[in-house]
Structure 1
Amino acid sequence: MLERIREGSQGPLAMTIVGLIIISFAVTGVGSYLGSSTSEAAAVVNGEDITVQEVEVAYQNQRARMEQQFGEQIASAFANETYLANFKSQVLEQLISEKLVEQKANEMGLRVSDEQIKEAIFDIDAFKIAGQFDNDTFKAILQRQGFTAVSFRDYMRQQMTTEQLSTALTASSFSLEDEVAEVLKLQQQKRDAQTLEVNAADFAGDIELSDEEINDYYQANLSNFDTQEEVKLAYVSLSVEDLMANESVTEEEARQNYQDNIAAYQTIEERRVSHILIEFGDDEAAAESKAEAVLAMVNEADADFATIAAAESADIVSAEEGGDLDYIVKGDWSESFEEAVFGLEKVGDTTGLVKTEFGFHIIKLTDLKPQVTTPFEEVQEELTALLLKDKATDTFFSLQEEIASAAFESPDSLEEVSNISGRPIIQTAFFSSGNYPASVNYPQVENVAFSSELIDDKVNSDILQVNDEKILVVRVAEHKPQRTLALEEVKASITTQLSAEKTQQAALDWTEALKQKLLNGESVYDTLAAKSLEWNEVSGIERFASSLPSEMTKSIFSLAPAAGQDVDVVSLANGNVGLVKLTAVEAVDEIKAEDIEATLQGLANNNSRQSYDSFVAALVDEATIERITR
């Protein structure tokens, strides 16, 4: 077992998986996840702490990934206290599972060498430029995520060691081709049958239902007649969009803003240059003398700057391209270099000697992209809309304090809030806690709508911040507490339900008698004719076909092609009753190789997940785990 684990950790697949795992953490900021152990413990697993800090960072990482994937919808869900508590609990349980697997790997003596870690780091795409590992990129990412080279190495060692164990577990799951072929033969098998659907409504006339039966059903199922607590909310909503209709922007205002922010409507001047670099070396004077000689060569008639750069420049990267540095903009280069570049007047001009910290440069302007200003007329509409929104936003924030005060100082009404905001008071219909109307379907409302403060004290809510551009103030207009409906209120529905059950049972009894006749070899022609029924012949039925009611299809594939085992009665979801008789089985002799391969892979993946989950569950059962609540 141990040998298999060690061998599995060397394979390219394992290394790829590890790389994906590591970078998925690295790019979302888990540097502090490796942080100080002085944080309070959120859980203790076999004597080892999982700190509150670790849980918080893991929670923030997972939340960030979900918000990036699902957007505002999931972001608002985190405003719900119950959802948030459950989510954090799940994060803690995941960390406990990871800690147990890590402990088991260490117990088994699994190790990852420094060379393996180095190779894995070099293989992470986020650290590469043009397909090659770049040390500056590596250091920048680590610094941004709070890692040091040592802490990242230790984190990778932990992850890769754990991955050895999980890879060995999942790689040990397999299925035999013969077994898979037999399963596929059963799945692809087809059958012929006779079917019959007996309409339960035909037996309704034979049904009698007493008041005693209705009352007995009511008493036995009282909990089914409990109503849910309901509220009707009154609310005032205010958004930036609502306020935009009350604002205006003149052309003069738009033009002034355009002039004040003209840089936003201008492209940056770009200049493409080539250069020749003569480094200082140990003798700056000698370097300057050489640079002057090269400058003289450049200034000669018919001189080819690119050829001279290739032969003389110490910048070996640009020299291969004739000294080309591509396009540059101000702010990216040293002051003297930029001053010389942006002092050239036209394409083809060259500078004299330009001194920087790197040496002496001779610079040639090879192309020029001048600054371009977008005319006001082209951005006027967009700019006006932005200014309208800016004004509305200012008004929106200035009103919030007034609205908050009004909601608190006049707690028994929303009239003052409505007057200040200029927005109407709207009422919802009655709804239960699991069925919020769209207009108030926000986690912020869920947190207060059924609170004792709003229901019992009959006051306004605080301002509910739906998002940066919308607020609500709500109050409970009416309240219906939970109660048990009286028999008189539900008698009609009970009667309908019991009648349906009795009619189906009558149809079942009749169909069972019909089945018995078939098993006894008796003719059922007259019995069917009395109900205006006849057999439906169905051929080539597939196991997962939808041409028949699913109950019939399932029954047909459960029957055996032998006397006494080929007939069945089934209750149908529509309230009717079905009778099925298996008449033939169409076996599959050969299964395609590609079907076997696909199924093998699917079974292997499924078995791998189940094996790993079972392994972790066993570790949890055997472990000493203390979850610390605060």
Structure 2
Amino acid sequence: MLEKIREGSQGPWAMIIIGLVVLSFVFAGVGSYLTSSGGSAAATVNGEEISQQTLERAYQNQRARMEAQYGEGISSLFSSEGYTEQFRQSVLERLIGEKLIEQKAYELGLRVSDRQIRDSILKMPEFQVGGTFNNDRFQGILRQNGFSPADFRNYLRVQLTREQLTRALTATSFTLPSEAEQAFRLQQQTRDARYFQVSAEPFAENVEVTEDDINNYYQANITAFDTEEQIDLSYVLLSVEDLKKDINVAEEDVAQWYEDNKGRFVEEEQRRVSHILIEFGEDQDKAKQEAEALLAQVNDGANFATLAKEHSDDTFSAENGGDLDFISPDMMDPEFDKAAFNLKQEGDVSGVIESEFGYHIIKLTELKPESVTPLNEVRDTIRDQIATDKATEQFFELQNRMAEVAFEMPDSLDEVANIAETKVESTGLFTRNTAPAPLNTPNALEVAFSDELIQDRVNSDIIELDDSTVAFIRVKAHEPQRTQELAEVREGIEATLRDEKAQKAAEAWAQDVAEKLNSNEEVNDLLTSQNVEWQTAEKVSRQGGQLARNMVDTLFSLSLDSKPREVTLLTSGDVGLVELTKVNHATQPDESTLTTMRQRMATMESQKTYQSFVDALRKDAEVTIAIN
């Protein structure tokens, strides 16, 4: 079974599909994995926990990606508590699915070599400069997030192990040429139509809206007339960025900081090594004897690269004479890493080293000693860091004083603003779903709409908007949620009912026209009475453009044999009648187009297969969700 999985996951098709899946893992989820310890569990999957911290990281990463892609439109949705909870639940479901796949991969005995981990790191764009892996960037990003190379390697091992099973699942999906051709023909089919649109407005003259109609509509849609609770806030902001603007950093402070923190600018020693790998196979003793025999040949002067090409089980590096390029401490398997960094000079060769992947013979081919970045290259970075540190110190000092004053003088924010040498701002009335920036955060809204602030009209305590910004707020005005009286909405209801009845009357008129056409009766007088004329549209595609969307959908539901025409309601409030006159079949797709179509359909099928597999695992799993 494992062999079939590995075989099915090696083709170029599989690599294209799985690449789409892997991009969602790295780098977005790295923080959640590496820092998942601690905190209560959001869910437990077959005895393994998914921590609240893991969920929060994954939620923030997914939300950031969506906001970057869709902009303010999606950002406004997250101001809705209901949407946010639904979104968070969907993220948790994804994490549960990933955990199930991970567990199944380990159950099947799937593993990842150090070489695969290293290659993945080298290819990750997050660690590249100008398309080439940059160790400084690699170390810097990990250090910035508080991760060690070993932690990151462990994270990748989990992700890539899971990827093997994911790849095997998705690579099994395919689409027959006949299926792709049929789908293409349907997708590219166009239609000719005869149609007209009749305005509902003239029919409104004969429409009567009674008081009973208005009352019944009001009662049936009573919740639609509920207003949302609104508040108007006064607020004071304090941020590190604002404080930084007034901070000057002396040159001697920069030089001293550099000396005190020189370790941050040290580039770790790098070593370029080659190796020969002999996997354990079925006879570990035999593998060790083979490795020792090869080591003896190396010590007798045999060419290391030639032996690697002929004997190494690491086929990728073997093609390059066993070359693994440059490695940094903690990048490889611990035993391999220890042996490689114990070699003293270029050309030195290790003994036979055992790792979980087999026996290695390691040769040091190039050595880059530890180096220190000079002050001139990091002066601006240090100056900014010092300014940030000083501003942060002021930030915490000022916010504590502001909190004291906000509590001691709860009826005004004026003195709170004076401490920060800023001014009191106002929001104007807003609802929970229309909160203005920067107060559109869940914790700020929770405090703003709390009974304490609304009823007692006191200053709030410190509200953390983000890691470097806090706010103090108070409610200036409050409008509670209520149901509008009928008198307030009567005019709007009457207009809505009149439009609905007018459209229904226009629809009935159009249905009469359609029935007469079905009976081969003359309809010109009917059309003239409403100033309507037939229009034609040729080669209408499913994407539309020539006709209204509803008309396009109706056109592609018609049949020349049994149902050539149909009345359709338009979103404008008018009514249309669409008659199918001709079906234009698509031409035979060329080979390139057919291949693209097959790939697209196979990708869709692979996604269904993956989800079905996860659903099957979930059905047999013990999953406990600890959040609402």
2:110 is equivalent to residue 120 of structure 1: no
Alignment correspondent of 1:182: 182
CA contact (8 A) 1:142 1:148 kept: no
Instruction: Quote how far apart the aligned CAs of 1:450 are.
Output: 0.9
Partner of 1:366: none
1:473 is matched by which residue type in structure 2? F
Amino acid in structure 2 at the alignment position of 1:207: V
Partner of 2:306: none
Deviation at 1:452, TM superposition (A): 1.6
Residues 67 and 75, structure 1, Cα contact 8 Å, conserved in 2? no
Equivalent pair of 1:239/1:469 in contact (CA under 8 Å): yes
Q: Deviations over 1:136-186 (max 9, x none)?
A: x9999999855769x968983x65554443333212222211122122112
Are 1:624 and 2:617 matched, yes or no? no
Shift of 1:592: 2.2
Q: Is the 8 A contact 1:32 1:146 kept in 2?
A: no
AA aligned to 1:518 is: L
Cα deviation for residue 605 of structure 1 reads 0.9
Q: CA deviation at 1:28?
A: 3.7
The answer on 1:481 being equivalent to 2:503 is no
Q: How far did 1:575 drift?
A: 0.2
Query: Runs of 5+ in structure 2 lacking a partner?
Result: 263-343, 348-365
Q: Is the 8 A contact 2:79 2:434 kept in 1?
A: no
**Range that drifts further, 450-459 or 492-501:** 450-459
Bigger drift between 57-66 and 542-551 goes to: 57-66
TM-score (structure 1 length as normaliser): 0.66
Aligned equivalent of 2:208: 208
In structure 2, relative to structure 1, the CA distance for the partners of 1:139 and 1:34 (3 Å cut) is farther
Q: Secondary structure at the match of 1:532?
A: coil
Change (3 A) 1:429 1:618: same
3-state SS, counterpart of residue 440 of structure 1: coil
Residue 228 of structure 1 corresponds to 228
Deviation at 1:328, TM superposition (A): 11
Q: Following TM superposition, by how much is the alpha carbon of 1:221 offset from its aligned partner in structure 2, in angstroms?
A: 1.3
- Cross-structure match for 2:310: none
Q: Secondary structure at the match of 1:582?
A: strand
Report the count of equivalent residues. 515
The answer to whether the 8 A contact 1:412-1:458 is kept is yes
**What displacement does 1:385 show?**
11
Q: Residues 498 and 168 from structure 1, CA distance in 2 versus in 1: closer, same or farther, beyond 3 angstroms?
A: same
Alignment partner, residue 581 of structure 2: 583
Q: In structure 1, what is the Cα distance between the partners aligned to 2:417 and 2:387?
A: 23
1:15 to 1:550, Cα distance in 2 relative to 1, 3 A = closer
Alignment pair present for 1:56 and 2:23: no
Per the alignment, residue 532 of structure 2 pairs with 533
Kept after mapping to 1: 8 A contact 2:180/2:594: yes
Deviation at 1:489, TM superposition (A): 0.8
Matches within 5 A, 1:116-155: 117-121=113-117, 123-126=119-122, 145=147
- Asked if structure 2 preserves the Cα contact closer than 8 Å seen for 1:413 and 1:460, the reply is yes
Contact 2:42/2:50 (<8 A) preserved: yes
Please state how far the C-alpha of 1:248 moved relative to its aligned partner. 10
Does the residue aligned with 1:477 lie in a helix, a strand or coil?
Answer: strand
- The CA distance in 2 between the partners of 1:533 and 1:68, in whole Å, is 50
Map Cα deviations across residues 87-145 of structure 1 (whole Å, 9 max, x no partner). 775565444323323444455x4544xxx62552453343999999999x999999985
Shift of 1:447: 2.9
Q: Is the 8 A contact 1:463 1:473 kept in 2?
A: yes
Structure 1 match to 2:166 = 166
The separation in 1 between residues aligned to 2:625 and 2:425, in whole angstroms, is: 46
1:413 is aligned to 412
| Deviation of 1:551 (Å) | 1.0
Contact map agreement 1:76 1:442 (CA 8 A) in 2: no
1:60 CA drift (Å) = 4.4
Distance 2:617 2:390 in 1: 60
Structure 1 gaps of 5+ residues are 269-313, 318-324, 333-368, 374-378
The aligned amino acid for 2:567 is V
Shift of 1:210: 0.8
Separation in 2 of the partners of 1:67 and 1:571?
A: 39
Q: Is the 8 A contact 1:515 1:569 kept in 2?
A: yes
User: Against the structure 1 CA distance between its residues 329 and 466, is the aligned structure 2 distance closer, same or farther, given a 3 Å change threshold?
Assistant: same
What percentage of aligned pairs have identical amino acids? Answer: 37
SS class of match (2:456): coil
Distance 1:478 1:537 in 2: 58
CA distance, structure 2, for counterparts of residue 533 and residue 427 of structure 1: 55
Q: Is the 8 A contact 1:31 1:147 kept in 2?
A: no
- 1:120 maps to amino acid: Q
**Partner in structure 2 of residue 299 of structure 1:** none
The answer (yes or no) to whether the contact 1:511–1:579 under 8 Å persists in 2 is yes
Q: Is the 8 A contact 1:511 1:577 kept in 2?
A: yes
The question of whether the paired residues in 2 share the 8 Å contact of 1:110 and 1:161 is answered with no
State the match for 1:596 in structure 2: 594
Shift of 1:506: 0.5
Residue 570 of structure 1: how far off its partner (Å):
0.4
- Partner of residue 567, structure 2: 569
Q: Is the 8 A contact 2:33 2:155 kept in 1?
A: no
SS in 2 for 1:533: coil
- Cα drift, residue 443 of structure 1: 4.3
Cα distance change on mapping 1:244 and 1:32 into 2, 3 Å: closer
1:434 partner SS: coil
2: CA distance, partners of 1:188 / 1:514:
31
**CA distance 1:572–1:401, change in 2 (3 Å):** same
CA spacing shift, 1:516–1:230, aligned 2, 3 Å:
same
Do the aligned partners of 2:166 and 2:610 also contact (CA within 8 Å) in 1? yes
Which whole-Å CA distance do the structure 1 matches of 2:601 and 2:538 have between them?
A: 31
What amino acid does structure 1 have at the position aligned with 2:604? N
C-alpha contact 1:26 1:145 (8 A) present in aligned 2 = no
For the residues of structure 2 that align with 1:582 and 1:260, how far apart are their CA atoms?
Answer: 80
Could you tell me which amino acid in structure 2 is paired with residue 170 of structure 1? T
Given the superposition, is the C-alpha separation of residues 500 and 40 from structure 1 closer, same or farther in structure 2, using an over 3 Å criterion? closer
Deviation, structure 1 residue 420: 4.0
**8 Å Cα contact 2:254-2:386 kept in structure 1:** no
CA distance in 1, matches of 2:166, 2:368: 50
- Pairwise mapping of residues 197-596 of structure 1 onto structure 2 (< 5 A)? 197-238=197-238, 257-258=250-251, 261=254, 398-438=397-437, 440-467=439-466, 470-562=469-561, 565-596=563-594
Check 1:406–1:622 CA distance in 2 against 1; reply closer, same or farther (3 A cut).
same
Distance 1:227 1:172, change over 3 A: same
Larger radius of gyration, structure 1 or 2?
1
How far the C-alpha of 1:196 sits from its partner, in A, is 0.5
Give the Cα–Cα distance (whole angstroms) in 2 for the partners of residues 141 and 238 of structure 1: 28
Distance 1:26 1:123, change over 3 A: farther
Report the Cα distance in structure 1 between the residues aligned to 2:491 and 2:155, rounded to whole angstroms. Answer: 70
Indicate how the Cα distance of structure 1 residues 152 and 540 shifts in structure 2: closer, same or farther if over 3 A, else same: closer
Deviation of 1:485 (Å): 0.9
Change (3 A) 1:557 1:434: same
Deviates more, 1:23-32 or 1:570-579: 23-32
Q: CA separation of 1:81/1:8 partners in 2, compared to 1, >3 Å: closer, same or farther? A: same
RMSD: 5.4
- Tell me the secondary structure at the aligned position of residue 475 of structure 1: strand
The secondary structure found in structure 1 opposite 2:447 is: coil
Tell me how far 1:497 sits from its aligned partner. Answer: 0.5
- Please give the alpha-carbon distance, in whole angstroms, between the structure 2 residues aligned to 1:588 and 1:26: 43
What corresponds to 1:343 in structure 2? none
CA distance in 2, matches of 1:223, 1:599: 47
CA separation in 2, counterparts of 1:23 and 1:394? 36
